[in-house]
Amino acid sequence: MTDWYGVTRTEVEHMGGRGLFMYYNSLEAALRSICPEVEWDSSKFAAAGRTPVGHWKDANNLKQALDRAEEKLGITKVII
């Protein structure tokens, strides 16, 4: 399934999948709907530079981003 992360919207459209985007605003949204059992990582999609409207309003997306940042930066303790 991780091969999907490197596929762009343009590639899907060129292979005849243009109609897919009449129902979903992104390839990620389509894959999340079709394969809900997979834990997709939004940051790994080819269009990762763009986030869907409302993406950062979801607490789960914020937590995942902070967890990745902690890991990447080596943060082990947060002091408030």
Per-residue pLDDT of the chain (80 residues), as tens digits, is 778 988 988 899 999 999 999 999 888 889 999 999 999 988 788 665 666 667 788 888 888 888 888 989 999 887 87
Q: Which pLDDT belongs to residue 12?
A: 92
* Distance (Å, whole) CA 43 – CA 37: 18
Q: Which sign, positive or negative, has the C-alpha torsion 48, 35, 1, 70?
A: positive
Q: Which amino acid is at 70?
A: E
Q: Which pLDDT belongs to residue 16?
A: 94
CA angle, 74 then 45 then 15, to 5°: 165
- Name the residue among 57, 11, 61 with its Cα closest to residue 32: 61
Q: Which pLDDT belongs to residue 50?
A: 67
Contact of 9 with 47, CB cutoff 8 Å: yes
